[in-house]
């Protein structure tokens, strides 16, 4: 039944844990609506004959349906719509909440290609994403230029990818194989050819592959060039380089000492209170936002003195910085809020007044 429906609806194979629940709801909705529309059509056809005009001067009698009938007409569709809503909402929560133990991969979209970088070091690739089967994978995605949308039909995932912002999606592939990636947001001339491929390997194959890739990377020389070339080697190391060259470390310490800005040690996932009293968790999205719009959400106790890095940091550089920050973990189990800044804006020297 499951397979028959899939073929009837011309759906792609079901290759992730999301696929069946998505399809199941789809089948349910489409079956009920098909049955209802066929019944309505047949009934209309029947009435067409039953109530046809028999005489020229025939008038339509007044029809008053019973209350029970009215309740049924409203209640039955309402019941189904609510049922679909509840099912759909539960599934939606699941699709949008990555589990804790995901393998993270950074995805950078640009006209007209997909670039991938592994958070824990590893190869960077254009167009091909290698992932293990039966392990949750989280994609942290951003765009260098315009809106794109990361779409893998076989996994039933689709997520917009935006410039200047991180969006995330996750999936757990179930079968080793090769699966097509499409761009599902019109992004210019070659939008229709902005393809990529997810290569799903068995867990063991993937681990072996990763070890081999890392061994290869160690020998490879940094070729410089565009951002793709720069990202060879460990993404964390790359982030450290950027932190030094962009001057981040002049205001952010790495050892827990408060400075002009909050320390980066244990910053990731730290709960911070903002100036306006709001409380946030310093996740990937917040860290990236703070590079682009540093004065938008300032941590309480600090001055809004950081310049914006919008246009100065390419998306992969921002990603590398985030990974670098994430790597700075002390042994403390708790992420305590940032202490106050040790920064006193220099007072304008005032001429001493004498009489
Ligand atoms: Cu990228 Cu369409």
Q: Inform me whether the pLDDT recorded for 43 exceeds 80.
A: yes
Q: Is 347 exposed, middle or buried (0-12, 13-18, 19+ CB in 10 A)?
A: exposed
SS (H, E, C) the chain: CHHHHHHHCCCCCCCECCHHHHHHHHHHHHHHHHHHHHHHHHHHHHHHHHCCCCCCCCCCCCCCCCHHHHHHHHHHHHHHHHHHHHHHHHHHHHHHCCCCCCEEEEEEEECCEEEEEECCCCCEEECEEEEECCCCEEEEEEECCCCEEEEEHHHCEEEEECECCCEEEEECECCCEEEEEEECCCCCCCHHHCCEEEEEECHHHHHHHHHHHHHHHHHCCCCCCCHHHHCCCCHHHHHHHHHHHCCHHHCCCCCCCCCCCCCCCCCCCCEEEECCCCEEECCHHHHHHHHHCCCCCCECCCCCCCCCCCCCCCHHHHHHHHHHHHHCCCCCCCCCCCCCCCCCCCCCCCCCCCC
Checking if the pLDDT of 95 tops 50, the result is: yes
pLDDT at position 332 is 53
pLDDT, greater one: 286 or 339: 286
Measured distance CA(106)–CA(324) in Å, rounded:
13
What pLDDT score was predicted for residue 340?
Answer: 65
The pLDDT tens digits for 97-112 are 999 989 999 999 988 8
Q: Which residues contact 195 (CB under 8 A, 6 or more apart)?
A: 127, 180, 181, 182, 183
111-133 exposure pattern, b = at least 16 Cβ within 10 A, e = fewer: bbbbbbbbbebbbbbeeebbbbb
- Which one has a higher pLDDT value, 221 or 254? 254
Task: Please state the domain extents for the chain.
Answer: 103-219, 235-342
Strands 137-143 and 103-110: parallel
Q: What is the pLDDT of residue 247?
A: 80
Is pLDDT above 60 for 353? no
- Cα 182 to middle of ligand 1, angstroms: 8
Index of the ligand 1 atom closest to the CA of residue 147: 1
**What's the whole-number mean pLDDT along residues 252-260?**
81
Mean pLDDT of 49-78: 89
Whether this model's pTM surpasses 0.85:
no
More confident residue, 4 or 257: 4
What is the 108 CA–ligand 1 centroid distance (Å)?
A: 12
Q: Bigger pLDDT: 310 or 158?
A: 158
Architecture of domain 103-219: Sandwich (2.60)
Average of pLDDT values for 154-165? 92
Write down the residue that tokens 């590079």 correspond to: 291
With a 6 A CB cut-off, is 187 part of the ligand 1 pocket?
A: yes
Ligand 1: distance of its center to the CA of 160 in Å? 10
- Which ligand 1 atom is the nearest neighbour of the CA of 191? 2
Residue of minimum CA distance from atom 1 in ligand 1: 148
What's the token pair of residue 39? 């019944």
CA 7 to chain centre: 29
Q: What is the CA(114)–ligand 1 centre distance, in A?
A: 9
Q: Looking at the predicted structure, is the pLDDT value of residue 230 above 50?
A: no
Taking only the tens place, the pLDDT of each residue in 324-343 is 888 887 765 555 667 666 55
Does 183 sit in the ligand 1 pocket, CB within 6 Å?
yes
* Residue 161 pLDDT > 90: yes
| Arithmetic mean of pLDDT, 344-350 | 50
Mean pLDDT computed over every residue of the chain: 84
- Nearest atom in ligand 1 to the alpha carbon of residue 111 is 1
If you average pLDDT over residues 122-135, what whole number do you get? 87
Of 32-41, 209-218, 234-243, the range with the lowest mean pLDDT is: 209-218
User: CB of 148 closer than 6 A to ligand 1?
Assistant: yes
The phi, psi pair for 76, rounded to 5°, reads -65, -50
In whole angstroms, give the CA distance from residue 236 to residue 95. 28
Q: Ligand 1 mean position to 186 CA, how many Å? A: 5
Q: Is the pLDDT assigned to residue 30 strictly greater than 60? A: yes
Quote the ligand 1 centre to 170 CA distance (angstroms): 19
pLDDT band at 180 (very low <50, low <70, confident <90, very high): very high
C-alpha 229/C-alpha 226 separation (Å) is 6
Residues in a beta bridge with 199: 130, 178
Domains 103-219 and 235-342 share a fold: no
CATH superfamily of 235-342: Cytochrome c-like domain (1.10.760.10)
Measured in angstroms, how far is the CA atom of residue 126 from the centroid of ligand 1?
15
Whether 219 has a pLDDT exceeding 80, the answer reads: no
Percent of the chain with pLDDT over 90: 40
Cα of 195 to ligand 1 centre, how many Å?
Answer: 9
* Per-residue pLDDT at 228: 43
Mean per-residue pLDDT for 54-71? 87
Atom of ligand 1 nearest to the CA of 161: 1
Rounded to the nearest angstrom, the distance between the alpha carbon of 162 and the centre of ligand 1 is: 11
Q: Is the CB of 322 under 6 A from ligand 1?
A: no
- Decide: 92 in ligand 1 pocket, CB within 6 A: no
Name the band, by pLDDT with cuts 50, 70 and 90, for residue 126.
confident
CB of residue 194 inside a 6 A radius of ligand 1? yes
User: Which ligand 1 atom minimizes the distance to the CA of 148?
Assistant: 1
Which atom in ligand 1 lies closest to the alpha carbon of residue 186? 2
Task: Judge if the beta carbon of residue 190 lies within 6 A of ligand 1.
Answer: no
């Amino acid at each position: 039944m499951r397979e028959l429906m899939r073929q009837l609806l011309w759906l792609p194979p079901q290759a992730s844990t999301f696929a069946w629940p998505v399809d199941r709801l789809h089948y349910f909705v489409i079956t009920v609506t098909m049955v209802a529309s066929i019944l309505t059509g047949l009934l209309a056809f029947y009435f067409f004959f039953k109530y046809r005009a028999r005489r020229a001067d025939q008038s339509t009698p007044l029809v008053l349906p019973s209350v029970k009938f009215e309740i049924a007409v409203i209640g039955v569709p309402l019941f189904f719509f609510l049922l679909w809503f509840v099912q759909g909402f539960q599934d939606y929560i699941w699709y949008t909440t990555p589990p804790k133990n995901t393998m993270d991969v950074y995805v950078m979209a640009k006209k007209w290609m997909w670039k991938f970088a592994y958070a824990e070091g590893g190869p960077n690739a254009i167009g091909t994403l290698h992932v293990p089967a039966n392990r949750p994978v989280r994609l942290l995605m951003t765009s260098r230029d315009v809106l794109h949308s990361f779409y893998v039909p076989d996994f039933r995932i689709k997520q917009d990818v935006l410039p200047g912002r991180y969006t995330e999606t996750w999936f757990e592939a179930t079968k080793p194989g090769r699966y097509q990636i499409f761009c599902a947001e019109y992004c210019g001339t070659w939008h229709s050819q902005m393809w990529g491929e997810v290569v799903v390997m068995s867990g063991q194959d993937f681990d072996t592959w990763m070890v081999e890739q890392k061994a290869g990377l160690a020998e490879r020389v940094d070729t410089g060039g565009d951002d793709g070339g720069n990202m060879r080697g460990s993404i964390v190391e790359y982030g450290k380089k950027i932190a030094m060259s962009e001057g981040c470390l002049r205001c952010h310490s790495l050892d827990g000492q408060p400075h002009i800005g909050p320390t980066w040690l244990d910053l990731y996932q730290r709960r911070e209170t903002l100036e306006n009293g709001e409380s946030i968790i310093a996740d990937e999205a917040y860290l990236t936002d703070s590079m682009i719009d540093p004065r938008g959400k300032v941590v309480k106790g600090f001055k809004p003195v950081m310049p914006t890095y919008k246009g100065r940091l390419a998306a992969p550089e921002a990603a590398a910085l985030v990974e670098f920050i994430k790597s700075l973990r002390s042994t403390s189990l708790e992420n305590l809020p940032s202490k106050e800044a040790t920064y006193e804006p220099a007072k304008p020297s005032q001429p001493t007044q004498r009489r």
